[in-house]
Amino acid sequence: MKLMPEEAENLVSKLRFRHVDETVIAVVQDYQTKEVLMAGFMNREALIKTLTTGYLHLWSTSRRKLWLKGETSGNFQLVVDVKVDCDADAVLVLVKPLGPICHTGNFSCFYKRLVEL
């Protein structure tokens, strides 16, 4: 999925960003298996970069910084589609993973059961 900048900006302007930090929740899912791979946040810049480059970009709320998923590991996530929830305040990003998404090396960040903590 790759959009022109104007089209991406138009679509992003329709979302309802959280007032606290101007982000939306981003759930990332494997487009084939439908497995949830991770959850994170996207600000306007991360969404526009994602939509115009075809690669998953996120906003780090702790580092206050935009980041390209896979920039360190090489495990990039190719964006196939983006869906929006009914309130337009969260996005579901369907990706074709080019390797594990989790910084631990696991395919998904959701590999632990709550009782394992």
Give the model's pLDDT for residue 93. Answer: 98
Q: In this predicted model, what pLDDT tens digit does every residue of 85-103 receive, in sequence order? A: 999 999 999 999 999 999 9
Alpha-helical (H) ranges within the chain are: 5-12, 44-53
E strands within 14-72? 24-30, 36-42, 57-60, 65-68
Given this model, what pLDDT does residue 20 score?
Answer: 85
Domains of the chain are 5-116 (3.10.20.810)
Taking only the tens place, the pLDDT of each residue in 11-70 is 999 999 998 899 999 999 999 999 999 999 999 999 999 999 999 999 999 999 999 999
Q: Return the pLDDT at 115.
A: 94
- Asked if 21 contacts 95 with a C-beta cutoff of 8 angstroms, the reply is no
